[in-house]
Amino acid sequence: MLTLYSTLIIRNSKNSGFVKSNYNSGGILGGVLNNFFFGELIIEGCINSNVVEGGLRAGCIVGNRKGFGTLINNHYDKQMCGEED
Rounded CA-CA distance 62/14 in Å is 13
Q: What is the pLDDT of residues 6-48, one digit of tens each?
A: 788 999 999 999 998 888 888 998 876 655 556 778 999 999 9
Indicate whether 1 belongs to any domain.
no
Q: Tens of pLDDT along 54-64?
A: 778 888 898 87
The parent domain of residue 56 ranges over: 7-81
Q: Is the pLDDT of residue 5 over 80?
A: no
SS3 readout for 6-63: CEEEEECCEECCCEECCECCECCECCCCCCCCCCEEEEECCEECCCEECCECCECCEC
Residue 54 lies in a domain: yes
pLDDT for residue 21: 86
Residue 21 lies in a domain: yes
What is the number of domains present in the chain?
Answer: 1
pTM score = 0.79
Establish if 2 belongs to a structural domain.
no
* pLDDT (0 to 100) of residue 85: 43
Give me the pLDDT at residue 83, please: 55
